[in-house]
Amino acid sequence: MEINRRDILKFALMTPLVMTACKTVENTVAATKNGVIKPKRIVKGSTVGIIAPGTNVPDPDDISKAIEVLDYFGLKYKVAASLESGTGYKSRTPAERAQDFNNMFSDGEIDAVFCIRGGYGSSQILDLIDYESVQSHPKVFLGYSDITSMHTAIFKKTGLITFHGPVLLSQFTNYTLENFNRVFFEDDEYINLNNPSQKNGLREQFHIRTIQSGIATGRLLGGNLSLISSLSGTKYQPEFVGAIVYLEDVGEAPYRIDRMLNQLKMSSILDGINGIIFGKCEDCDAGTSQSTWDLSLGEVLDNYIKPLKVPSFYGLMIGHTSNQLTLPNGCLVEINADKGNVKLKESPFA
Residues with catalytic annotation?
145, 248, 320
Residues shown for the chain? 350
Distance CA 173, CA 323 (A): 6
Instruction: Compute CA 328 distance to the chain's CA centroid, rounded to the nearest angstrom.
Output: 6
Show the 3-state SS of the chain.
CCCCHHHHHHHHHHHHHHHHHHHHHHHHHHHCCCCCECCCCCCCCCEEEEECCCCCCCCHHHHHHHHHHHHHCCCEEEECHHHHCCCCCCCCCHHHHHHHHHHHHHCCCCCEEEECCCCCCHHHHHHHCCHHHHHHCCCEEEECHHHHHHHHHHHHHHCECEEECCCCCCCCCHHHHHHHHHHHHCCCCCCEECCCCCEECCEECCCCEEEECCEEEEEEEEEEHHHHHHCCCCCCCCCCCCEEEEEECECCCHHHHHHHHHHHHHCCCCCCCCEEEEECCECCCCHHHHHCCCCCHHHHHHHHHHHHCCCEEEEECCCCCCCCCCEEECCEEEEECCCCEEEECCCCCC
Distance CA 196, CA 184 (A): 19
